[in-house]
Chain A
């Protein structure tokens, strides 16, 4: 067996050992620091029948995302190819190398590094079927190399893979990137040298080997293999501290996500997993309106995650974000970027007590058999919306109770978005009390911000409906028959309703009953934020207006007669522009009754 040893394998062996120890320690720390609720979710999934769909999801997701990179490919096929060729190619190289070794040694019992340095140690490898193995390995190596070349080209010119900007990297990541890029060319050179001397290469390595002078191959064989082993060692030892940690973290994240774990309001081990699962692909920079319109280029998901992970200063990245969720929708790894941002916004010391006793004075209303209607703070600034809703309720003979006729308790979401967790909970408690006491059967709300809050943060015993859903139901059931007009209307998807709550079809359905829909280039999950989002306090109004103008340009491209939206906040934002006519869907319907 000793003929299967050479000192050059040492860097590789040490590197691999260090790598696995570090990863084991990290994984252990993350898993043990999940919080109570997250752990409970894991056990609930593991110990019940839910485990089967979870397992299926895990396998499916790992193959789809870690190996095939389907989401990235969907975003841009060249970028997908780059990621896939390196990930899948390398994975297959390792697996095939392993199988080849098993095959050659007729089962186990061989030394663990042989799969990696096979060609160097097994030199009399020129019989029949071995040529096939060699060709397969060469094909895989070529596949990886093609990905590496794209990566190198991309680092100079990012448009090759269809993104506007490369992520700005730390010097550490840059060093590591070079060691990764070197690994495969080194492997090619070392195998070629060996092939030149022994003739055991496949079509590629043998081809190159035949071109090399024998003296050169004799001198350079061991140095090349040493360089290959050293590159592997450097890469393995450093990578748990770099962005490449995503390679091992992503599968772990998929496992825990499939077991039902989600971010909670405080950072936990799961947060560490998400932070480490970011590959810094830069897709989240692409859609961010702050980057595009305001050239603010240090706050996007990738930078927030990086700075939180490495403990770098990140106040600006934390505060200056619209929370429009574009990056969350785009992220191929599915990292809950906005939730992490909220955790970082946590106002701790400012959040210890509130002064909301005055809200206790509100009396609940007996609303049995009625619909509770909540306009929301913003609707008080757009009375057209609430008036239209009342008109519609009356038209269909629906009894309702307007919870916030003249006074409104905020739903609490704005506080929560700014990191005032306890105070937001207090407002939620007050509102929930009112709603439960009223015994209303449904809660209709006009504001997507409140809607998302009631739906996801309240845990109410009754069903929460946005007014567009309500109108769509009325029209479908024939209760409401608005007249069709000849208007051409562009619909703006509010962030909180669309990306936030996945409601895209109902508003369009309602609009089509009264008007014709204009074509909008970026719509549905790609709709541009109106800029005045409550998620942001760092932007002044002039800057918010610039984002809004981008949204308006997008909406007006098809020359619509007017713009329709389903959020009082967006409406208010668009109204600030003199040249824009904007109406809420409820208003359009109420006009045509």
Chain B
């Protein structure tokens, strides 16, 4: 449908097909990820975020958008203390999310997931 206006192309975010697959796999492992409403509660309470500019909400959003660059490095700042999980009003299992994100972003595990991807798409 044509509403007579568009979002200018460079500002829209379109994950690639592979990116969508990655996201689907993550959501399969951490189903509560879907519930996030981007309130930022996790970031506000984050132990690592009290020291430096570490934004856990941004990290998982960037992953959602398929922007994986340097996310792995960024995630290594997390201390897995669990405060974010405890305060999340939507019950997102953030610690599980963080561990699975690390797995997904880790080179060794990426290949596993890729195998999984191939298997699921070539029935």
Contacts and interface: CB of A to CB of B under 8 A. Distances in A.
B76 A349 contact: no
A361 B51 contact: yes
Contacts of B76: 353-356, 423
A593 to B, nearest CB: 29
A412 to B, nearest CB: 8
Interface residues of B, number: 30
A78 interface: no
A350 B86 contact: no
Given A381-B87, A418-B99, A534 B77 contact: no
Contact of A408 (B50, B74, B96): B50
Given A381-B45, A538-B96, A540-B32, A407 B80 contact: no
A349 B93 contact: no
A519 B103 CA distance: 46
A418 B80 contact: yes
B73 A355 contact: yes
Contacts of B73: 355
A78 B93 CA distance: 43
Interface of A: 347, 349-350, 353-356, 358-359, 361-362, 377-378, 380-381, 406-410, 412, 414-415, 418, 420, 423, 427, 532, 534, 537-542, 569, 572
Which of B51, B80, B99: most chain A Cβ within 10 A? B80
B51 A407 contact: yes
B64 interface: no
A65 B83 CA distance: 43
B55 interface: no
A540 B31 contact: yes
B99 to A, nearest CB: 6
A86 to B, nearest CB: 44
A356 B45 contact: no
Contact of A358 (B52, B96, B106): B52
24 contacts: A350-B106, A350-B109, A355-B77, A358-B52, A358-B77, A361-B51, A377-B47, A377-B81, A378-B82, A380-B83, A381-B83, A381-B87, A407-B47, A408-B81, A415-B80, A420-B80, A427-B79, A532-B86, A537-B95, A538-B96, A540-B31, A540-B91, A541-B91, A569-B86
Nearest to B74: A355
Contacts of A423: 76
B36 to A, nearest CB: 13
A362 B47 CA distance: 14
Interface string B78-113: 011111011100010101100100110010110000
Nearest to B95: A537
Given A381-B45, A381-B83, A356 B109 contact: no
